[in-house]
Amino acid sequence: MTATVAWQDDSPVRFAENLRADGGRTGVEPTHGRVRWTSPDGVEHAAETIVPSTAQPGVPLTVWVDRDDRLTSIPPAPGRAAGHGVAAVLGLLIGLIAVVVGVLVLLRFGLDRVRDREWEREWALIGRLGDGSTR
């Protein structure tokens, strides 16, 4: 959506993207500014946001708005969105594997206890039979 810059503040906003690898600046520092736009249904909106220091009042500026016509950040690039999707799937798979392993460990623990009790009963029976008792 295109908005018009209404005013801008001269105080710079620091962002990592504005710094070059050698520590120098890119030359365009963002500042705070107020933008106005008209939504498709004809309603006028205004909000304060970060604008380039080169933006002048009255000059069109691209802004991103959500379904409720509130300013929002730029949507992620397709590669970044795919990366988030892959990370989410991997997280779900790791979580699922952890749950399955947890269930298997608990199942093994329970079955080991049952088996140990059976062994104790068998050894107790062997011990009584070894004493010469007829029970």
Mean residue pLDDT of the chain comes to 79
pLDDT for residue 11 = 45
Is the model more confident about 73 or about 112? 112
Buried b (16+ CB within 10 A) or exposed e, 63-78: beeeeebebeeeeeee
pLDDT for residue 26 = 52
Query: Among 29, 14, 30, 72, which Cα is nearest to 47's?
Result: 72
The token pair at 98 is: 């952890």
**Are 3 and 72 in contact, with CB atoms under 8 Å apart?**
no
pLDDT band, residue 113 (cuts 50/70/90): very high
Q: Quick one: average pLDDT of 8-37?
A: 56
Q: How far is CA 62 from CA 74, 84, 135, in A?
A: 10, 25, 92
Displacement of CA 81 from its chain's centroid (Å): 11
pTM listed for this prediction:
0.46
Among the ranges given (50-54, 58-62, 105-109, 129-133), the one the predictor scored with the smallest mean pLDDT: 129-133
**Are 58 and 35 in contact, with CB atoms under 8 Å apart?**
no
The per-residue pLDDT for range 66-102, each reduced to its tens digit, is 888 888 888 878 888 899 999 999 999 999 999 999 9
- Over its C-alpha atoms, the chain yields an Rg (Å, rounded) of 34
Is the model more confident about 120 or about 9? 120
